[in-house]
């Protein structure tokens, strides 16, 4: 263990800190401007203009929103469970950011003669001559996703309000059911790759052999994963936990000021994370034209894919109405879960018959 | 002291404190939260022991699934903190069991060497092959029978749960 932690040269630590800072700032900025983009995009889809007052084309709107929420009065309900009420927004926010530690956002670049893989939890092993990353990358992502539910459940329970509690209960039931289907939907991918490491998964898709079109099974798996992921992060049409028309604002009804803003940030950070993971697993990660010869291009491809998927998410929100609660549960347990199980079996049978992907 | 020892000390202090909070908290939700923290510390220990697969599974299964169900149950039954109730049941039994466990552990410690006993799987092999691959290879060859027995057991449990839940439906 020591040679892994201490035996590495100084550049390793500098690169690590730099990568953490870059990824963190990138996610924060994306989160801030995703709110603006969502309002603009949905505005245009509904033939409205959207925010255009603060700054040129309303570009300073996220900053104005942030300042406004920051200066609002902080109200903690008298009958709430104080500790759980205070930690719930943090518990919601932290796992969303932690997931990014395992996501490869670019290929390996060379800085002053040193090879630096653009992935936080990875380093270039000179002895083995390859990039070593988290051996259980996919499982780490699933583990962090499964923790996201606590923030919402705690918020719902601690507020001591019926709307919050109903929102929290719905959230936990929904997230637990869809987590299963999402977890099973990515099994065909690592059956084909033969590894749980995200670096290996991207490498298997290099040269436009992306899983979204490399076999019928992974195509369906990709769609399935994306739908389940939307349900897991409570986006429309699966936003039952905070259905305004029924539950006021669901689990965050009693929250105000910065704590409310943190739930909002958590929602958008989860959206970035989910889109990043879908892009990594099914859209080839940082792969694109000339990405192998010019590694500096690779982060741009990755960002473009993430932004495209985020746009689709907003598009879906503007298009599809909310599911009813029983429809949601039926869809999850009776349609998506059996389909993902069938995909695993089909991928296995096809592999046994000698067909893995169209690209061999 | 090297950096991993310092890290281990910090994590183990958190583990012990959160484990104590599980049994001393009056509020059941706070107890459950402390238990989640304890599971996290256990996952960290697994990761430090070069067992990343175990660490991930620990978080997914215990912190992510089992504890969600426990928190769910506490919320549904709406168990609130009982501040006045003091219970001392099973304290003598607890003391007896604790002492027996301590003595057993002590006797194992006293019997011989406890650290630096490398088995077949060294950190080097784990780095070369990968922890998940190693576990998978052994689980589906050498330990296939226990694996299958466990899956039948789980299937029986699922069928049982469905029968219990759907008993009143015609």
The fraction of chain B above a pLDDT of 70, given in percent, is: 91
A5/B4 CB distance under 8 A: yes
Q: Which residues of B touch A197 (CB under 8 A)?
A: 130
B71/A150 CB distance under 8 A: yes
Task: Name the range with the highest mean pLDDT among A168-177, A210-219, B137-146.
Answer: B137-146
A136/B60 CB distance under 8 A: no
Return the pLDDT at B100. Answer: 95
Nearest to B71 among A5, A140, A153 (CB): A153
Helix (H, G, I), strand (E, B) or coil at A288: coil
| Predicted confidence band of residue A2 (pLDDT cuts 50, 70, 90) | very low
The fraction of chain A above a pLDDT of 70, given in percent, is: 93
Return the pLDDT at A88. Answer: 85
Question: In the predicted model, is pLDDT for residue A29 greater than 70?
Answer: yes
Return the pLDDT at B155. Answer: 95
| A 243-302: CB under 8 A from B | none
| Cα A181 to Cα A224: distance, rounded to the nearest angstrom | 8
Question: In the predicted model, is pLDDT for residue A198 greater than 50?
Answer: yes
Higher pLDDT, A196 or B119: A196
Higher pLDDT, A324 or A31: A31
- Residue A355 has what DSSP assignment? -
CB contact A97 to B (< 8 Å): no
Return the pLDDT at B165. Answer: 84
How large is the average pLDDT for residues A56-66?
Answer: 84
The sign of the CA dihedral B112, B114, B115, B118 is: positive
Question: In the predicted model, is pLDDT for residue A173 greater than 90?
Answer: no
CB contact A326 to B (< 8 Å): no
Return the pLDDT at B104. Answer: 92
Nearest to B30 among A83, A134, A179 (CB): A83
Question: In the predicted model, is pLDDT for residue A6 greater than 60?
Answer: no
In whole angstroms, how far apart are CA B91 and each of A79, A194, A230, B26, B95?
33, 51, 48, 17, 6
Whether the Cβ atoms of residue A275 and residue A179 lie closer than 8 Å to each other: no
Least Cα separation, residue B3 to chain A (angstroms): 8
Strands (DSSP E) contained in A18-169 are 108-111, 114-117, 122-125, 130-133
How large is the average pLDDT for residues B4-14?
Answer: 90
A168/B68 CB distance under 8 A: no
Question: In the predicted model, is pLDDT for residue A90 greater than 50?
Answer: yes
The region of weakest confidence among A58-62, B63-67, B116-120, B140-144 is B116-120
| Cα A148 to Cα A170: distance, rounded to the nearest angstrom | 14
Which residue out of A79, A102, A139 would a mutagenesis test of the B interface target, given it has the greatest number of B Cβ atoms within 10 Å?
A: A139
How large is the average pLDDT for residues B150-169?
Answer: 88
Question: In the predicted model, is pLDDT for residue A325 greater than 60?
Answer: yes
- Burial classification of residue A82, based on how many CB atoms lie within 10 Å of its CB (0-12 exposed, 13-18 middle, 19 or more buried): exposed
| CATH entry 3.90.1150.10 includes domain B1-81 | no
How large is the average pLDDT for residues B7-19?
Answer: 92
Return the pLDDT at B14. Answer: 94
Question: In the predicted model, is pLDDT for residue A241 greater than 70?
Answer: no
Return the pLDDT at B1. Answer: 65
Higher pLDDT, A146 or A225: A225
Q: Which residues of B touch A (CB under 8 A)?
A: 2-4, 27, 29-30, 33, 36, 48, 50, 52-53, 55-57, 59-60, 63-65, 68-69, 71-72, 74-76, 123, 127-128, 130-133
- Burial classification of residue A276, based on how many CB atoms lie within 10 Å of its CB (0-12 exposed, 13-18 middle, 19 or more buried): buried
Q: Which residues pair with A123 in a beta bridge?
A: A132
ipTM: 0.79
CB crowding B63-100: b at 16 or more within 10 Å, else e? bbeebbeebbebbeeeeeeeeeeeeeeeeeeeeeeeee
The region of weakest confidence among A155-169, A216-230, B87-101 is A155-169
Return the pLDDT at A1. Answer: 38
A143/B123 CB distance under 8 A: no
Q: How many residues does chain A have?
A: 360
Q: Which residues of B touch A157 (CB under 8 A)?
A: 29, 71, 74-75
Whether the Cβ atoms of residue B39 and residue B67 lie closer than 8 Å to each other: yes
Average pLDDT for chain A:
82
User: What string of DSSP letters covers A174-243?
Assistant: HHHHHHHHHHHHTHHHHHHH----HHHHHHHTTTT--HHHH-HHHHHHHHHHHHHHHHHTT-TTS-GGG-
Strands A122-125 and A114-117: unpaired
Q: CA of B54: which chain A residue's CA is closest?
A: A136
Return the pLDDT at B159. Answer: 92
Task: Name the range with the highest mean pLDDT among A204-213, A287-296, B84-93.
Answer: A204-213
Question: For A248-263, what is each residue's pLDDT tens digit?
Answer: 667 777 777 788 888 8
CB contact A161 to B (< 8 Å): no
How large is the average pLDDT for residues B4-26?
Answer: 89
Question: For A114-170, what is each residue's pLDDT tens digit?
Answer: 777 777 777 777 766 677 777 788 888 888 888 888 888 888 887 877 788 888 888
Question: In the predicted model, is pLDDT for residue A80 greater than 80?
Answer: no
Question: For A103-121, what is each residue's pLDDT tens digit?
Answer: 888 887 777 777 777 777 7
How large is the average pLDDT for residues B145-160?
Answer: 94
Q: CA of B128: which chain A residue's CA is closest?
A: A128
Least Cα separation, residue A216 to chain B (angstroms): 26
Q: CA of B66: which chain A residue's CA is closest?
A: A176
Which residue out of A8, A127, A150 would a mutagenesis test of the B interface target, given it has the greatest number of B Cβ atoms within 10 Å?
A: A150
Q: Which residues of B touch A81 (CB under 8 A)?
A: 27, 29-30
B36/A154 CB distance under 8 A: no
Nearest to A1 among B4, B57, B63 (CB): B4
B64/A143 CB distance under 8 A: yes
CB contact A127 to B (< 8 Å): no
Average pLDDT for chain B:
84
Question: In the predicted model, is pLDDT for residue A295 greater than 50?
Answer: yes
In whole angstroms, how far apart are CA B69 and each of A348, B64, B167?
32, 9, 22
CB contact A169 to B (< 8 Å): yes
| Cα A31 to Cα A271: distance, rounded to the nearest angstrom | 9
Q: State residue A131 phi and psi, 5-degree precision.
A: -80, 130
Spell out the domain ranges in chain A: 89-106+136-352
Spell out the domain ranges in chain B: 1-81
Q: Which residues of A touch B131 (CB under 8 A)?
A: 135-136
A156/B64 CB distance under 8 A: no
Q: State residue A124 phi and psi, 5-degree precision.
A: -90, 115
Return the pLDDT at A235. Answer: 78
* Alpha carbon of residue B81 to chain centroid: 25
Question: In the predicted model, is pLDDT for residue B101 greater than 90?
Answer: yes
How large is the average pLDDT for residues B140-169?
Answer: 89
In whole angstroms, how far apart are CA A287 and each of A106, A110, A316?
8, 17, 26
CB contact A15 to B (< 8 Å): no
Strands A130-133 and A108-111: unpaired
How large is the average pLDDT for residues B73-78?
Answer: 77
């Amino acid at each position: 263990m020591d040679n892994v932690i201490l035996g590495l040269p100084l550049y390793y630590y500098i690169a690590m800190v730099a990568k953490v800072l870059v990824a963190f700032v990138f996610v924060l900025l994306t989160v801030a401007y995703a709110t603006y983009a969502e309002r603009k995009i949905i505005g245009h889809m509904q033939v409205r203009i959207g925010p255009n007052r603060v700054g040129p084309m309303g570009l300073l709107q996220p900053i104005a929103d942030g300042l406004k929420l920051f200066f609002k009065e902080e109200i903690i309900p008298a009958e709430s469970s104080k500790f759980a009420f205070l930690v719930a927004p943090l518990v919601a926010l932290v796992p969303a950011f932690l997931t990014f530690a395992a996501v490869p956002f670019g290929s390996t670049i060379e800085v002053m003669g040193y090879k630096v893989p653009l992935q936080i939890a990875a380093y270039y092993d000179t002895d083995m001559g390859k990039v070593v990353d988290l051996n259980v990358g996919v499982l780490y992502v699933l583990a962090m996703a499964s923790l996201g539910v606590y923030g919402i459940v705690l918020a719902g329970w601690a507020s001591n309000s019926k709307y919050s509690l109903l929102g929290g209960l719905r959230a936990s039931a929904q997230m637990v059911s869809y987590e299963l289907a999402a977890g099973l939907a990515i099994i065909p991918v690592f059956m084909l790759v033969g590894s749980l490491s995200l670096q290996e998964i991207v490498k298997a898709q290099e040269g436009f052999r992306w899983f979204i079109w490399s076999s019928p099974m992974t195509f369906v798996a990709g769609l399935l994963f994306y739908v389940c992921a939307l349900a897991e992060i409570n986006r429309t049409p699966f936003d039952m936990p905070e259905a305004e028309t029924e539950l006021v604002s669901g689990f965050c009804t009693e929250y105000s000021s910065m704590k409310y803003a943190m739930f909002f940030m958590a929602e958008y950070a989860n959206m970035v994370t989910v889109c990043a993971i879908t892009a990594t697993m099914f859209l080839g990660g940082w792969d694109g034209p000339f990405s192998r010869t010019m590694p500096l291009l690779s982060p741009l491809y990755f960002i473009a894919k993430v932004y495209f998927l985020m746009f689709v998410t907003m598009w879906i929100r503007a298009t599809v109405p909310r599911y009813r609660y029983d429809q949601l549960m039926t869809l999850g347990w009776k349609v998506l879960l059996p389909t993902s199980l069938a995909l695993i079996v089909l991928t296995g049978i096809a592999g046994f018959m000698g067909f893995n992907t169209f690209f061999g | 002291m090297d950096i991993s020892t310092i890290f281990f000390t910090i994590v183990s202090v958190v583990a012990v404190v959160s484990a104590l909070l599980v049994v001393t908290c009056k509020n059941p939700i706070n107890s459950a939260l402390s238990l989640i923290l304890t599971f996290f510390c256990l996952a960290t220990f697994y990761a430090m022991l070069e067992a990343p697969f175990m660490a991930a599974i620990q978080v997914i299964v215990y912190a992510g699934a089992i504890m969600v169900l426990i928190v769910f149950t506490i919320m549904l039954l709406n168990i609130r903190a009982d501040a006045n109730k003091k219970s001392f049941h099973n304290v003598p039994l607890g003391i007896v069991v604790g002492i027996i466990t301590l003595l057993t552990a002590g006797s194992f410690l006293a019997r011989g060497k406890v650290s630096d006993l490398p088995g077949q799987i060294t950190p080097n092999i784990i780095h070369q092959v990968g922890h998940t691959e190693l576990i998978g290879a052994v689980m589906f060859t050498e330990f296939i029978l226990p694996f299958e027995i466990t899956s039948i057991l789980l299937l029986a449990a699922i069928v049982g749960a469905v029968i219990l839940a759907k008993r009143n439906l015609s």
